[in-house]
Amino acid sequence: MTITQEQATWFAQTFSQLADNVERAVLGKRRVVELVLTAMLSDGHVLLEDVPGTGKTSLARAMAQSVQGTNTRIQFTPDLLPGDITGISVYDQKSGTFEFHAGPVFANIVLADEINRASPKTQAALLEVMEEGRVTVDGVSRQVGVPFLVLATQNPVEQAGTYRLPEAQLDRFLMRTSLGYPDHAATVRILDGAAVATSDLPAVITPQALVGMADLAANVYVDALVLDYIARLVDGTRSADEVRLGVSIRGALALTRATRTRAASQGRTYATPDDVKALAVAVLSHRLILQPEAEFDGVTPEAVVGQVLLDVAPPTRREATV
């Protein structure tokens, strides 16, 4: 069933209220806030590549406050074990049974700080949770929070003692983006104390209503021409000279889901090529593996996706609406 115009209007208003609320704590970062909200409403996760002190923890807490959700923070270190994330079964001598002690991954929004500092085995403990929304310990599967969003961070500058994220894990993230430093005006406002403490933010929506928003976004109409455009963009990343491995079909599906959500956030019942263009770099760039020669020459995945957007012509006739 396709989303109605009335539902799309409500979706856009609520989306804007959520973004406004989060931006009260994370000043001057509207674009990133909207990307993270889009990912959460598209049943996806976000990788933030940033230096310390740019507001990643504040962003996660502000998101949780805005949706009346729970929030946890996991500091990834080389000695972190998979059970430290998922939880473990502890033997109770009184009852003679094993009791499950839930780990920090059982929350609506999980901040996985410096994920690349943990061993590959510990990183892999997140994979099932990110993909399936559940944890399996001792043969028993348990659902985590609904909605569920992993905000993982890694420091792009300090790489000593880190483990490179494997492509299979990077592909699990719907988007990769960066908060970066605030501009001058936002910096002055922060220094003046204008940023609201995350604990003081009011709730905008309940977790159940947020799940309803995600269901509405999944019913946004995407014309065959827009789907063809997404497919041609993905093909363009695979045939680019600088690319050794292009975007997978999972990446194409992720871009389609995010496109639907962005269309709803603009108050539309249908997606357009502009929705695809607005999200392509954030959704596709981290899925590319460049040729060693291109990396040596300073080519970035973002630049490759940007060039593909220039080379691949969008549909010319207006998409059909319903």
**Digit-coded pLDDT (tens) for 38-85:** 999 999 999 998 878 888 889 999 999 999 999 999 999 888 998 999
- Indicate the DSSP class of residue 221: B
SS3 for 89? strand
To which residue do tokens 């976000």 refer? 46
Confidence of residue 158 (pLDDT cuts 50, 70, 90): low
Q: Which two tokens stand for residue 111?
A: 């901040």
pTM for the full model?
0.90
Beta bridge partners of 112: 74, 152
Q: For residue 159, what pLDDT is reported?
A: 64
Q: Which parts of the chain fold into alpha helices (H)?
A: 5-23, 30-41, 56-66, 82-86, 120-132, 167-170, 184-191, 207-217, 224-239, 249-265, 273-284, 292-296, 301-311
The number of helices, as runs of H, and strands, as runs of E, in the chain is 13, 11
Beta bridge partners of 65: none
As a whole number, mean pLDDT of residues 175-198 equals 89
Q: For residue 52, what pLDDT is reported?
A: 80
Rounded Cα gap, residues 177 and 301, in angstroms: 12
Asked if 252 and 234 touch (Cβ cutoff 8 Å), the reply is yes
- 295, burial (CB in 10 Å: exposed 0-12, middle 13-18, buried 19+): middle
pLDDT digits (tens, 9 = 90+) for 266-318: 999 999 999 999 999 999 999 999 999 998 998 999 999 999 999 999 987 65
Q: Which two tokens stand for residue 312?
A: 């691949």
pLDDT digits (tens, 9 = 90+) for 230-262: 999 999 999 999 999 999 999 999 999 999 999
